[in-house]
Structure formats: C-alpha cells, structure tokens
Amino acid sequence: MEENRDFFALPKKNLIWVIVGFLVMVAGYLLLCGGGSGDPSQFSPEIFSFRRLVLAPIIIIAGAVGTTVAIIKVKKQ
C-alpha cells in the first residue's frame, strides 16, 4: 500500500509563491508607516506623499493578486 506524503493542499511551488505574496503585502504595509508629526497639534504634509498614496497601495494589491493566483492556479496531477 502506497502512502501519500502530501500534507498540504498546494504543491511546494505554490506555497512558495503564497509566502512571497504575503511578504510583498507586508512590504507595502511597511511603506504606509510613518509620516506622522511628533506633536498632535501640528499638521504634517508628509502623510500625503507619493509613497503612501500611490506606491504602497499598488504593492499591497500586487501581493494580494499574486497570492490569490498562487492559490487558485494549481496544476492537476
């Protein structure tokens, strides 16, 4: 009797892509950090930078799409 050693629903290659997608999303969230003022009564225009309004959301969405594709696209054996 042959024993099945596949413990995961996804192949190893897909699991690696899922992890990469999550790391890309974490990088996008890290790009959102900062830009605040030390004094709450002072306004900091840094919160409206290109990095926070454009770049970080694009990276987060790219990571989410990559993770979704890695989960959905599984080769049939």
What are the helix (H) ranges across the chain? 12-32, 50, 56-72
pLDDT given for residue 4 in this prediction: 57
C-alpha closest to that of 29 among 2, 7, 3, 51:
51
Tokens 């970080």 locate to: 56
7-64: per-residue pLDDT in tens? 778 888 999 999 999 999 999 999 999 777 778 888 888 888 999 999 999 999 999 9
C-alpha 60/C-alpha 56 separation (Å) is 6
- Split at pLDDT 50, 70, 90, the class of 77 is low
pLDDT given for residue 34 in this prediction: 79
Neighbours of 67 (CB within 10 A): 19
pLDDT given for residue 6 in this prediction: 61
pLDDT given for residue 1 in this prediction: 47
C-alpha 30/C-alpha 52 separation (Å) is 10
